[in-house]
Amino acid sequence: MIKVGIIGLNGRMGHMLWQECSRYEDLKIVCGVCKAGPALPQGCEVEVKEQVSELKTLPDVFIDFSRPEATLALLDFACEHKIAVVIGTTGFDEAGKARISQAAEVIPVVLAANFSVGVNVLLSLVEKAAAILADYDLEIVEAHHKHKVDAPSGTALAIGQAAAAGRKVELKDVMVSGRDGITGERQPGSIGFAAIRGGDIVGEHQALFCGEGERVELGHIATSRAIFAQGAVKTARWLFGKAPKLYTLKEVLGLDRL
């Protein structure tokens, strides 16, 4: 039996994770962390606290879909108690990312901005296309629901990173986001980002490779959050018992060959 703790248990993803875990006989959610307010999943009787440090029940693996500040508190606790962590939360700054890498020297960690299999196939395709279409202008367009707090989305940034890797450049050196006003002409080699927010859009991403006289579009549309929960729970099962390291979702899903 693998004992699971959910960070963000009463959030949109927390509810999905609760449902997904209940499909497995060898998984048991034993505790959760979230801010008081929204309802907990139906039938939830496990220990739930507002701070991870208050938990008395320890799981084997944490699955975290919350906010960066909650994830950072989680990493301190998980390192202290040697508990594996699956991180789906997005919006980390450089210091946050460094803390995740540091924690992965002590515990096994998977960090993924998008746990869907389809998006991870898209990342591999974008990396290849960016290398081959090296002089095409790349624009990444993403759309999400009105409650999303960060932009560009973590997935859009992952697409940008995949493209930058394909072109052997650093994303931070070529990224252009939030154009407004007199921006001047597009710089060759830059990677542009545009974000749309509204309604209940689950998550849509497009990578547009714009050339002279043609355009190649690679994209992904999520129609249900269940795909993220499925990937995260699959990852938690895979991560259980692994040695400390920052594993990639490619390793988990066996997409290394793409």
**Site for ligand NAD, rule CB under 6 A:** 8-14, 33-35, 65-67, 69-70, 88-91, 112-115, 154, 228
Q: Is 234 a catalytic residue?
A: no
What is the Cα–Cα distance from 19 to 74, expressed in whole angstroms? Answer: 22
| Nearest distance, CB of residue 17 and ligand NAD, angstroms | 9
Shortest distance, CB of residue 38 to ligand NAD, whole angstroms?
A: 7
Taken as a whole, the chain contains a residue count of 258
Nearer to ligand NAD, 23 or 215 (CB): 23
| Residue 148 designated active-site | yes
CB of 29 to ligand NAD, least distance (A): 14
Q: What is the 3-state secondary structure (H, E, C) of 184-232?
A: CCCCCCCEEEEEEECCCCCEEEEEEEECCCCEEEEEEEECCCHHHHHHH
Rank residues 9 and 164 by Cβ distance to ligand NAD and give the closer one: 9
Q: State the nearest-atom distance from the C-beta of 173 to ligand NAD, in Å.
A: 25
Q: What tokens were used for 65?
A: 């879909």
Q: Which residue's C-beta sits nearest to ligand NAD?
A: 11
Closer of 107 and 157 to ligand NAD (Cβ): 157
Closest CA to 158 of 140, 174, 146, 135: 140
Nearest distance, CB of residue 149 and ligand NAD, angstroms: 7
**Burial, 116: exposed, middle or buried (Cβ in 10 Å; 0-12, 13-18, 19+)?**
buried
Q: How far is the CB of 95 from ligand NAD (least distance, A)?
A: 17
Residue number, 209 or 228, with CB nearest to ligand NAD: 228
Active-site position among 144, 205, 220, 234: 144
Per the residue annotation, which of 148, 242, 245, 250 is the catalytic one?
A: 148
Cβ-based nearer residue to ligand NAD, 65 or 209: 65
Q: Which is nearer to ligand NAD, 9 or 253 (CB)?
A: 9
Cα separations in angstroms, 146 against 64, 195, 245: 21, 11, 35
Residues marked active site are found at: 144, 148
